[in-house]
Amino acid sequence: MQTEKIIIDDIKQILKEVGKIDGEISPESDIYSELGVESVNSISILLALEENFSIAIDDNQFIQARSLSKLIELVRDSK
Amino acid sequence: MTKFEIQFSEKLPDDICKEIAKRACYCDVQIVSSAFDKPSKSLIIEIEKPELLESVKVKVNQLVDKMKSERLVVQPKVIKDRIRQDNSYHPNVYKMLCENGDIFKEGTGVIAKGGEFLNLLMTFDAFFEKLGILQYQAKPRTYSTLVPSDWLKRAGYFTSFAHSLTFAFHLVEDLEKLDAFAERHSDNQDLKLESIDEIATPEFCLSPAVCYHAYGALEGVKFDESDNGLKVFTAQGSCFRYESKNITDLDRLWEFSMREIIFVGEKEKVIASRKESMDIIWRLIEILDLTASIETASDPFFSTEFKSLRFFQLANELKYELNLFVSEEKSIAAASFNYHENFFGANFSISNTDGSEVHTGCAAFGLERLVYAVYAQIGYKKAMKRLQIASEELLGERA
């Protein structure tokens, strides 16, 4: 079982690498409108999360999860 | 002439198959037509030269691979719909308008307008302009037909809609090349360019939408208290989107007229204005008594960007389209209600009083399509009479 810290670190890493976020990722910031993730990268983030955590994420729930804290919740609930 | 077929997976939704069929004709100049055949769930491509079949097939398959997605299949959602009691349609509006001289075809996807068709188009346009001014205190604007290429680049148009671009070219300033061009055409020859070097890199494109001009004009602007969190503009302009083999009589033109009401400012105010404008237009549709629907929609993104952007736009309900029926089976999108989040605020450095990036949205009306559908459903006289009633109810105007 992955610890909470590993989950958070992995999601942050995916947002940085795949979502191309440069700076600090505050938990409640909107990753698209506030942290500058381009919508064209949304699918890649979803697929990276699924692969990294070996889970299946619901498409619609993913698009509603627009912050780090919501993504953590989503990954946790999808396990 | 020869045909080939590409079988889609059963899991691929029909609306994605239709989108692929619309984009397929951009794969190769040899393609004469591309269509989605629903019963066989396949893409049918017709090409000019049979000997080029294999090379065209490779390109179309590449496009299909880039656009097909069995994941992220958010379906368009119907928000409102209605059917008129007498749901009959004029069998051929375009032919009728050409025969009575209201429409004159200048070339593929380009028409001249006159008579009652033009009068109805202008009446609708005046209605939307007044709606903007009276309901939102919109500032009327006229924008140029040319739009700086740089603005389209920053709006993401080059990456998302490369297939639709129309450039404003001119020959490069070079005596030798200008003389050669003139010489080549001295015997009344058809237009011929011999190399890309003959033309200068276009600083301008022909505008694909009105609202880009509003964002460009606001570049670097910070709102002050007097804006009260929202600036609204309205303008009508000629718009150009290259449609390749998809060009049809009146519902898919290369050049068309668009009226927009453009909302710029705080997120909540932009979203509320978009919603309100959509509700008012739906009331207009009820007064006109048209068979119509409003559905979530996505823009015609191309190739690799299609899957992600379509998914993002549909799932976040960033775009609603007003679909008007032109026959019992076919509808066309005649207006859209768009919300762009802070995309243009960020790319054009436009900020609210607190320094945050503005959010933007717009209500956009494709005037030829609207008038075409109105002709197909109720005709000129009923439309003019009902527009007057709508003006009284929705704009407070007296006859």
CATH of the domain at B250: 3.30.930.10
Q: Residues B232, B238, B242, B243: what is their CA dihedral angle, to the nearest 10 degrees?
A: 90
What pLDDT score was predicted for residue B74? 80
What pLDDT score was predicted for residue B70? 66
CB contacts of A41 in chain B (<8 Å) are 308
- B371 in a structural domain: yes
Q: How far apart are alpha carbons B59 and B26 in whole angstroms? A: 10
The residue of chain B with its CA nearest to that of A42 is B308
Instruction: Of B259, B213, B225, give the one whose Cα is nearest residue B367.
Output: B259
What pLDDT, in 10s, does the model give residues B366-387?
A: 999 999 999 999 999 999 999 9
Same domain (yes/no): B27, B176: no
Q: How far apart are alpha carbons A39 and B362 in whole angstroms? A: 19
Among B40, B67, B94, where does a domain finish?
B67
In chain B, how many domains are there? 3
- B312 in a structural domain: yes
Same domain (yes/no): B44, B146: no
The residues on B that touch A, with CB distances below 8 Å, are 69, 71-74, 159, 305, 307-309, 311-313, 315-316, 341-342, 346
pLDDT-wise least confident of A53-57, B66-70, B111-115? B66-70
Judge whether residue B10 has pLDDT over 70. Answer: yes
Same domain (yes/no): B255, B309: yes
Give the mean pLDDT of B313-332.
94
pLDDT-wise least confident of A3-7, B117-121, B213-217, B387-391? A3-7
ipTM of model:
0.79
Same domain (yes/no): B156, B176: no
Q: How far apart are alpha carbons B320 and B79 in whole angstroms? A: 9
CA distance A32 to chain B (A): 9
- Inter-chain touch A59–B305, beta carbons under 8 Å: no
Pairing of strands B139-140, B230-240: parallel
- B293 in a structural domain: yes
- B40 in a structural domain: yes
Same domain (yes/no): B114, B191: no
CB contacts of A64 in chain B (<8 Å) are 315
CA distance A13 to chain B (A): 20
Work out how many CB contacts closer than 8 A connect A with B: 40
Same domain (yes/no): B189, B324: no
CB contacts of B308 in chain A (<8 Å) are 39-44
- Inter-chain touch B74–A40, beta carbons under 8 Å: no
CB contacts of B71 in chain A (<8 Å) are 43, 46, 59
Same domain (yes/no): B92, B21: no
**In this complex, which of B159, B311, B316 lies closest to A43 when CB atoms are compared?**
B311
**In this complex, which of B74, B312, B346 lies closest to A39 when CB atoms are compared?**
B312
Same domain (yes/no): B137, B237: yes
CB contacts of B74 in chain A (<8 Å) are 59-60, 63
- Inter-chain touch A43–B308, beta carbons under 8 Å: yes
- Inter-chain touch A36–B341, beta carbons under 8 Å: no
Among B67, B87, B106, where does a domain finish?
B67
- B73 in a structural domain: no
What pLDDT score was predicted for residue B399? 46
The residue of chain A with its CA nearest to that of B69 is A43
The strand pairing partners of B296, in sequence order, are B320
Judge whether residue B72 has pLDDT over 80. Answer: no
What pLDDT, in 10s, does the model give residues A50-73?
A: 999 999 998 888 988 999 999 999
Q: How far apart are alpha carbons B305 and B301 in whole angstroms? A: 6
Q: How many CB atoms lie within 10 A of CB B258?
A: 24
Supply the pTM of this predicted model.
Answer: 0.92
**In this complex, which of B69, B74, B307 lies closest to A60 when CB atoms are compared?**
B74
CA B30 to chain centroid: 25
What pLDDT, in 10s, does the model give residues B155-211?
A: 999 999 999 999 999 999 999 999 999 999 988 889 989 888 999 999 999 999 999
- What domains appear along chain A, each with residue ranges and CATH number? 4-78 (1.10.1200.10)
Q: How many CB atoms lie within 10 A of CB B239?
A: 23
- Inter-chain touch B342–A33, beta carbons under 8 Å: yes
- Domain of B50? 2-67
- B72 in a structural domain: no
Same domain (yes/no): B157, B250: yes
Residue B39: give its domain's CATH number: 3.30.70
Same domain (yes/no): B146, B189: no
Among B67, B88, B104, where does a domain finish?
B67
Same domain (yes/no): B115, B192: no
Q: How far apart are alpha carbons B395 and B177 in whole angstroms? A: 57
Same domain (yes/no): B215, B337: yes
CB contacts of B73 in chain A (<8 Å) are 59
- Inter-chain touch B72–A39, beta carbons under 8 Å: no
Q: What angle do CA A28, A33, A34 make, to 5 degrees?
A: 50
What pLDDT, in 10s, does the model give residues B227-253?
A: 999 999 999 999 999 999 988 888 899
The strand pairing partners of B338, in sequence order, are B319, B362
